[in-house]
Amino acid sequence: MAAMKHEIKTGEDLAWLMGHTGGFRGGQVLELHVQKRRVLDEETGRDVVVDTVIDAAIRYDRPLAEYDGLFSVSRVARLTMLGVTDFSIFEQEGTDFSEIAEVHAEAADGRLRFWFDPYGELYVICEGVELEEVSRPGIVHPLRKGTTDWTFQADAGTLPAIGWFLDRLDEAGLPCIWREAKPNGRQHPARRWEGQLLPAGFEQTLRNNGIHVLAYGALDREGFGLTLRLLSPSESVTEKLFAVLTDLIARNFTGLCLAGNQLLGPDEWLGGPGSGRRLLA
């Protein structure tokens, strides 16, 4: 099953995009890639540009209303702008176009226009857009220095209990113990279970430096999500557990992985050398 993509081509589609993302208000452009497809012009013998695609990774938070108040959802979106006919990427000294106050957009004459900053230093005119994103509950407490994050958003299926993961890790030759985290204060309504995985036999030496796992229900659509945090990246035993656990999840569920700033399908994550797992270092 392919990961869900939202295609944006019309003014109605664009209105949905801006409503869903809140105009990426207060977000950040994490990565920006320009791809130009060229073909050989047989008459001139030169390569000519026939298509331009701009790919932006954007991190933003979105408050969502629940029955008992507002809760934050943190998202990383991959915005692929297709058939680009005009664009500008320019940054003057003292400015930073990666900081988004609010994206402004319009649909006119069969084109979509995006202004990512009020000065027009980053703008794009294109024929259409594809949106993919991974969502997770907004972080209540700041992450500890040295923490490494990996998130998987399943697009379908039911969230397994922690026992399912413990059984699979045992089969893989990495038996673990589970320390459930006790809820402290107000919890995000999507939260299902949370705690730490510690390799069996290392409970005393690692103490609270295992792998923190947060499991949550659907935030934007069907499915569920899992966020793994490697609390001690320098420990080889937890690093191995982290690699086995991420591969286990990617092999058994369909959806999207968020590794660093990149959104990857399970096959891309499992792709070996040059794959997304290298970004976690």
Q: For 58-81, what is each residue's pLDDT tens digit?
A: 999 886 655 444 567 888 999 999
Inside any domain, residue 1: no
Is 228 in the same domain as 246? Answer: yes
Q: What's the mean pLDDT in 42-60?
A: 87
Q: 3-class SS at 246?
A: helix
Q: What's the mean pLDDT in 270-281?
A: 47
Is 93 in the same domain as 148? Answer: no
Nearest-angstrom CA–CA distance, 245 and 237: 12
Q: What is the pLDDT of residue 5?
A: 84
Inside any domain, residue 58: yes
Is 218 in the same domain as 100? Answer: no
Is 270 in the same domain as 160? Answer: yes
Phi-psi label, residue 272: left if phi above 0, alpha if psi -120 to 50, beta otherwise = left
Cα distances (Å, whole numbers) of residue 54 to 3, 104, 110, 236: 20, 17, 18, 38
pLDDT digits (tens, 9 = 90+) for 212-235: 999 999 887 788 999 998 877 667
Is 265 in the same domain as 158? Answer: yes
Inside any domain, residue 13: yes
Four-CA torsion 157, 162, 166, 172, nearest 10 degrees: 30
pLDDT digits (tens, 9 = 90+) for 1-36: 345 689 999 999 999 999 889 899 889 999 999 999
Does 38 score more than 90 pLDDT? no
Is 105 in the same domain as 158? Answer: no
Query: How many structural domains does the chain have?
Result: 2
Is 212 in the same domain as 182? Answer: yes
Instruction: Give the domain extent around 52.
Output: 6-135
Which of 78, 112, 135 delimits the end of a domain? 135
Is 120 in the same domain as 160? Answer: no
Which of 135, 157, 185 delimits the end of a domain? 135
pLDDT digits (tens, 9 = 90+) for 75-107: 899 999 999 999 998 877 766 778 888 899 999
Q: What is the pLDDT of residue 141?
A: 46
Q: 3-class SS at 268?
A: helix
Is 109 in the same domain as 148? Answer: no
- pTM (two decimals): 0.65
Is 90 in the same domain as 220? Answer: no
Q: What is the pLDDT of residue 281?
A: 33
pLDDT digits (tens, 9 = 90+) for 168-215: 999 999 999 999 988 777 778 888 999 999 988 876 766 767 899 999
Inside any domain, residue 196: yes
Contacts 24+ apart (CB under 8 A), 89-92: 89/32, 89/34, 89/121, 89/122, 90/121, 90/122, 91/121, 92/121
Is 54 in the same domain as 128? Answer: yes
Cα distances (Å, whole numbers) of residue 170 to 260, 267, 272: 28, 24, 23
Nearest-angstrom CA–CA distance, 153 and 168: 19
Is 145 in the same domain as 54? Answer: no
Q: What is the pLDDT of residue 269?
A: 83
Q: What's the mean pLDDT in 253-267?
A: 86
Which of 102, 119, 135 delimits the end of a domain? 135
Say which residues have a Cβ less than 8 Å from residue 90's Cβ, sequence separation at least 6: 97, 121, 122
